[in-house]
Structure 1
């Protein structure tokens, strides 16, 4: 099992983001990008299982977890800008980006705009578009009425719908506590940003190697949504996790780490340095 160290990165903007780091110092850099209301803890099961060939980084995004909470800037492009600055702050010139759920939107924005910084892109349960999804519209209606402190029942109900098989109780409890740290205004602004951004446009222009992972028991993203990614991103490969739900990285961390490691070895073989 890999040891996890929690550090803090100060971005050029002055924003401070906590991040988890694990794996071998000389391993291929892999940066994990979490989605709505989560934090680096989303990837704790993956970071624990990293092989020596990888060096994993998992930043907590602005407004989430224990990260700083600026008054505004919660659209996908804001998170993408932070991600580029994070790479600079931790001294990673080129990395594999692994986006989970809505975190994959920021990751693919960076892949499209800074291909020199991205050796490969992994999209795990990432939507092609969201505005057409009934669940996304329902979530927006719910967060409009949120007030601080955010109700635990709201968080627990949302988390319970992300997997086909329940993750370990300890992980689920931790994830709930991390979700509860997110202020109501950040929930509202992040959801608004995702629904008002032309997500289909963020798929165009991606030229880096791309791996799409999807659980066929995903109750949020239908197969047709993932096909839209495959039809838009040239050469993207598709791997189906049978029986897994939306948060397949919680349900099958061992398999996902193996898939990411194999992909990283292809796109950054014999890496001479960070």
Structure 2
């Protein structure tokens, strides 16, 4: 599928958007995750049929989109409202909606927020390695109970400063474990060989991340509880912190409930009940000192939380399927592109055709 690059406005932000396929094709929206860009979807887009209208925006602060500030106090709504505005753009979506939507990692949070705040926009949804509906880090059980009142250990202070500096310096080396290329190989996928000829392309998407307190990683505030930092009010990581992003109950109570397919890799180390990005889990394995113990600060059960919320979603009138790929990490559409494309196309094939366009 040939992709055309468009510069389009959305809520005062200039977005760079990849769009391909005929104007009258069934619309498919792809929302990328953190430290990547729309081009992270290219291994999938190449496998999609030409008859679809596929649209993949670079979110604000990623790719070639404007690095507009992210107001973390709104959770992921800055992203979600921007993408909802793009859905109204008839240059990108000549046919209108509803659309089939797929999100990856943080992008799933954007899609979930849109499902809550912008009902009727989605015919069906594919969530790939989604962050928990209760946010990232700082919760202790399947009900999303905050671990501490100050949400310690979450937000912008959790980013590795050397990794952040290497993104800002556009470091393409693999000389350190914290270099973006090393992180791509070891944490984004289970098998670095799965990156193949796309390795440098995918690295470029990581290096496109805008760095700063208004973007990635965001600001941080001191906390009284271990590990003694908490979420700030600006930037990407704070937008996913559980004090700012929690859509669990709203998702269950959503006015319209499109079918959801949840795809994840069994060896995902980013979104996991044993996440290497969760300070509580790192403390439990001795990687961060002075962990106060499992009673005071247990690891977040990210996968279990998502399953529990989707079970409630199904019980209240929706539906979902969980698909787990063995020997696969955080990026199934890169590691298992043919199987992932088949799952997405199954949603396209079952998409209602008699619903009124928005």
Both structures adopt the same fold (TM-score exceeding 0.5): yes
Post-superposition shift, 1:156? 2.4
Alignment correspondent of 1:230: 310
Distance in 1, Cα, partners of 2:203 & 2:195: 12
| 1:130 lines up with 2:136 in the alignment | yes
Post-superposition shift, 1:96? 1.1
Of stretches 88-97 and 31-40 in structure 1, the one that deviates more from structure 2 is 88-97
Alignment correspondent of 1:249: 333
CA contact (8 A) 2:262 2:320 kept: yes
Alignment correspondent of 2:77: 77
Distance in 2, Cα, partners of 1:175 & 1:225: 29
Write the deviation string for residues 28-83 of structure 1: whole angstroms up to 9, x where unpaired. Answer: 11100001021111100111111244221100000111110124436411000001
Q: Compared with structure 1, are the counterparts of its residues 68 and 138 closer, same or farther at alpha carbon in structure 2 (3 Å cutoff)?
A: closer
Distance in 2, Cα, partners of 1:232 & 1:245: 26
Of stretches 196-205 and 40-49 in structure 1, the one that deviates more from structure 2 is 196-205
Q: 2:123 aligned to 119, 122, 126, which one?
A: 119
Alignment correspondent of 1:194: 240
Alignment correspondent of 2:198: 171
Q: Please give the TM-score of this superposition, normalised by the length of structure 2.
A: 0.68
Post-superposition shift, 1:240? 1.8
Q: 1:203 aligned to 251, 254, 263, which one?
A: 251
Figure out how many residues of one structure are paired with residues of the other and give that number. 271
Distance in 2, Cα, partners of 1:197 & 1:144: 23
CA contact (8 A) 1:19 1:60 kept: yes
SS at match of 1:35: coil
Higher relative helix content: 1
SS at match of 2:188: coil
Q: Which runs of 5+ in 2 are unaligned?
A: 141-152, 172-177, 218-234, 274-302
CA contact (8 A) 1:23 1:55 kept: yes
Write the deviation string for residues 200-255 of structure 1: whole angstroms up to 9, x where unpaired. Answer: 34633342211111111222324424423422322212122222111111111121
Write the deviation string for residues 143-200 of structure 1: whole angstroms up to 9, x where unpaired. Answer: 5674573463442233221211223343221222222222321211101111142333
SS at match of 1:198: coil
Distance in 2, Cα, partners of 1:54 & 1:268: 15
Q: 1:96 aligned to 92, 97, 100, which one?
A: 100
Distance in 1, Cα, partners of 2:20 & 2:119: 24
Distance in 2, Cα, partners of 1:112 & 1:72: 19
SS at match of 1:237: strand
Which has the greater radius of gyration? Answer: 2
CA contact (8 A) 2:155 2:237 kept: no
CA contact (8 A) 1:155 1:180 kept: yes
Distance in 2, Cα, partners of 1:62 & 1:260: 25
Post-superposition shift, 1:142? 2.7
